[in-house]
Every structure is written in structure tokens, then in C-alpha cells.
Amino acid sequence: MIIAMLVLILFAVLFPGFLRWLLSLTALLFVGAVLAGMAHAEDTPKAALEAYVTCLENGDYSDLTSADGGRSAMHLAVGQCKDTWSNYIQECIKRGSTDGSCTLISVELAQIQLKHSGK
């Protein structure tokens, strides 16, 4: 375990882009696990998630960037997709998750969509 951590630190020092890539990969795997869990949920939570993701995909990215610490992702999630975001959060909480974890997942989805769009 310690050797693996030392190797990761070494790569992060030698290749600065490696750490960003590793964090992006971790985020994608985390969101993938969440989406896989949602796939087994009832139709209503799945529909809320699909509506939210569709809104994110159709958002206006002209003034947004994935490199501002999440401010653009919050604007995309809560500003442009307010209704579908709210429905997703309500369904997520009904499934037993906390408000904080549901919000974190929803903003992470928006951040991933921004990165996917090239912003």
C-alpha cells in the first residue's frame, strides 16, 4: 500500500497532468458507480436523473468553464437546470442519501459534462 502511494506521489511530481487525470478518472468512476446504483432504482428516481442529465447535456456552455473550481458547474446545475436539479435532489434524498451527498453528486455530474463538452 505504501509503495503504491509513493509511486502515485512520484508520478504526480514528475508528471503534473497525471494528478489531474487521476482525479478526473476517480470522479468518473465515482459517478459511474452512482449511476449504476441508480439503474437498479425505481423508475421515478431514474427518470429524475435522466431528466437532469438531459438538461445538463442541453445547457448553454458559452460562458462556462470546468476550470473555475466548480462555480460554472453550480451555475449549470442550479441556474440553468433548476427544476430538473431540484427533482433529482428530492428523489436522491428519498432514496436515503443526505442532501450534501446528493448535491455533491449533482454538481460533479455538471462538472463532468462541462469537461466532456471541452470547456
Which tens digit of pLDDT belongs to each residue from 65-93?
888 888 888 888 889 999 999 999 999 99
Q: How many domains does the chain have?
A: 1
User: Would 14 be classed as within a structural domain?
Assistant: no
CA dist., res. 90 & res. 111, Å (int): 20
Determine the pLDDT at residue 114.
86
Amino acid identity, residue 24? S
**Residue 96 main-chain phi, psi, to 5 deg:** 110, 0
User: Would 5 be classed as within a structural domain?
Assistant: no
User: Would 7 be classed as within a structural domain?
Assistant: no
Determine the pLDDT at residue 89.
93
pTM of the model: 0.62
**Residue-range definition of the domain harbouring residue 31:** 21-116
